[in-house]
Amino acid sequence: MPGLSGKRILFGVTGSIAAYKAADWLRSLVKEEAMATVVMTEAAARFVSPLTFSALSGQAVYHDMFDQAPDLVMAHINLSRGADAILVAPATAQTIARLAHGMADNLLSTVILAARIPVVICPAMNSQMLSHPATQDNIRRLASFGYHFVQPGRGELACGEIGDGRLADWDAAREKLLSLFAPDDLKGQTVLITAGPTREALDPARFLSNRSSGKMGFALARTARRRGATVILVAGPVQLPDPPEIEVVHVTTAEEMRRAVMDRAATAHVVVKSAAVADFRPSTYADHKIKKTPQGIQIDLIKNPDILAELGAHRLSGQILVGFAAESRDHAGEGQRKLIEKNVDLMVVNDILGKATGFDVETNQVTLMDREAAVTLPLLSKEETADRIWDKVLQMQNGPPRP
């Protein structure tokens, strides 16, 4: 089941001005078909009405420790029973202090103290409160108990100051939750992934490129991070947000991508080249916009460096090299040719003519081709496809060494 769909999240909301953002997070959880139960502190209920959260989740919202409603008997035990994780957002300095010292003086802190499931804390507060040694100590203490933190962002705070303490983006919290439910079988590995197209300029207005959106490469990066890898993502020009906790190197041309990859490849246990690198570039760049002529113009193209072939030619011992083959015909033949010619361990072959495969769609259907066999996967989301590629990489790493 993809994403957070079907996951049961106990969502604690505490008394920060950022509580209004929690309503939006709840919407995102509901949209993704996660089951969210909201527990608010009394202070949170002053910022945003429990009715808002109950309308969004379609469920009762809990905040009173001494409520006598029949479903609330032993609420401090029952609320976390059956939940997969607890998310506290926004988490105030007060709530963090309460949790760090095992205080059970409101419903939320009592529920968390009684729970034995993963807890994700998303702090949001004034930057002075955040940097105060007491708060920092409490955060360290909770981290030592195994609590997970989503770092607050930097920017203008509700008090008008500029600094650290803004509630993180939902994307970062979502990724943290997803990582709780993923195996950490890539932990200890550095993976280098390329994504998106390259652009080869002709003049200040025009360039040569292709239809790659970067979705496949970003899916590989996110899933690898969730599974514990340190991820370096070299991305051509794409319209996707940088994934959290990932080093993203933005490049434009094939030559820039080559440099970025070569500078970092030696640190990588696995390199996955899902970028659609332009094979050619204009031989000259016109400093001024090329004017229309009645007879049209001829563009002279020269070959770009083949980054994957270069990696294959100088492969590092033990490093796994994965290439992608974007094909419109003879998929098996072309995949096999590229596997051998570029000297890679695994070729992921996909069809660029299919409506739901290849460029700029959410799904893909790929054939995983190594030297022994070729296995075609079903049509899957790009994230599910990415997970299957990581499964295959791990299988190759753990299998007998290549002759």
Q: Which residues are catalytic?
A: 159
Region of 74-82, 134-142, 144-152, 352-360 interacting with ligand PMT (CB under 6 A): 352-360
CB atoms within 10 A of CB 22: 30
| 360 forms part of the interface with ligand PMT (CB under 6 A) | yes
* Residue among 108, 193, 216, 368 that touches ligand PMT (CB under 6 A): 216
| 320 forms part of the interface with ligand PMT (CB under 6 A) | no
Q: What is the rounded CA–CA span in Å between residue 125 and residue 130?
A: 6
Q: Tokens 């650290």 — which residue? A: 164
* Residue among 127, 279, 374, 377 that touches ligand PMT (CB under 6 A): 279
* Residue among 14, 126, 304, 363 that touches ligand PMT (CB under 6 A): 304
Residue 222 beta carbon to ligand PMT: minimum distance, rounded to whole angstroms: 13
| 335 forms part of the interface with ligand PMT (CB under 6 A) | no
For residue 153 the two structure tokens come to 């962002």
Q: What is the rounded CA–CA span in Å between residue 268 and residue 280?
A: 27
In order of 231, 299, 310, 366, the CA distances from 314 in angstroms are: 21, 33, 6, 27
CB atoms within 10 A of CB 317: 5
Parallel/antiparallel/unpaired status of strands 8-13 and 35-40: parallel
Q: List, in sequence order, the alpha helices (H) in 122-280.
A: 127-131, 133-144, 170-181, 215-226, 254-264
* Binding mask of the shown chain, residues 231 to 270, with x at each position contacting ligand PMT by CB under 6 A: -----------------------x----------------
Q: What is the rounded CA–CA span in Å between residue 17 and residue 242?
A: 26
* Residue among 44, 61, 168, 308 that touches ligand PMT (CB under 6 A): 308
* Residue among 111, 265, 277, 321 that touches ligand PMT (CB under 6 A): 277
* Residue among 276, 339, 380, 389 that touches ligand PMT (CB under 6 A): 276
| 123 forms part of the interface with ligand PMT (CB under 6 A) | no
Q: Which residues of this chain interact with ligand PMT, rule CB under 6 A?
A: 196, 212-216, 254, 273-277, 279, 304, 306-308, 323-326, 338, 350, 352, 358-360
